[in-house]
Amino acid sequence: MNWKERASVVSALTESLNQRLGWCGEAHLQKAVFLLQAVSKVNLLYEFTLDRDGPFSFDLRDDLALFRSRDVLRLEPQPVPYGPTYVVSEAVKGLGTEPTVRREVEFVATKLSGFGEVGFARLVTALFVTQSMGRDTPAETRVHRFMELKPQLQPETARLAVAAADQVAREGAQV
């Protein structure tokens, strides 16, 4: 997938997140792109590692800078204490994405709008654990691994996150 194809998908996701959440910082995009790749057939070829806030891709960070330099995305400052939000530049607004990809982008943005910031991070972290351990790994084993990564969480919170991740993955496979 070339940079223009990735830019098209990331800008569609940015628009959808802004419409549903009213906000789209880099952390949102990192998690949303990870979720998109994890639960759909869309593969933007980004590799993710896990940082303290959830899945993170250095390549996506580099592409966000590229997209800004090519006037695909821009950053709009927000009032303190908020950081800037990504918006799609007027030059590329309305550029279409394939209907299948658009449905998957809308699915991800809709799912994420149902979670608060903390729930959003837990969901994608649970998906990261599932992806790294394999979908056939028993839920309780994944919960245990999740708690190793996030020891501040209560076991029930980790179970709920893993269950939510499994549900979103099932739903995403049907989009």
pLDDT in tens, 92-120: 765 667 888 889 999 999 998 888 777 88
- Give how far Cα 143 sits from Cα of 116, 139, 147, 149, 164, Å: 20, 6, 6, 10, 12
Cα 42 from Cα 16, distance rounded (Å)? 16
Give Cα 37 distance to the centre of its chain.
8
Q: What is the pLDDT of residue 94?
A: 59
Distance CA 35, CA 145 (A): 19
d(Cα 104, Cα 44) in Å, to the nearest integer? 13
Residue 119 structure tokens:
């729930």
State the Cα–Cα distance between residues 21 and 87, nearest whole angstrom: 12
User: How far is 122 from 55, CA to CA, in rounded Å?
Assistant: 10
Whether a cis peptide bond, with omega within 30° of 0, leads into 99 is no
Q: What is the pLDDT of residue 151?
A: 92
Nearest-angstrom CA–CA distance, 35 and 106: 12
At position 90, the amino acid (one-letter code) is E
* pLDDT value of residue 96: 64
**Full domain range(s) for residue 115:** 3-173
- Euclidean distance between CA atoms 156 and 160, whole angstroms: 6
Length of the chain equals: 175
Report pLDDT for 100.
82
pLDDT for 99 equals 81
- Regarding pTM above 0.85, the answer is yes
Residue 79 confidence (pLDDT): 87
Which residues of the chain fall short of a pLDDT of 50? Answer: none
What is the model's pLDDT at position 95? Answer: 62
Domain count, the chain: 1
Residue among 41, 85, 46 at smallest CA distance from 62: 46
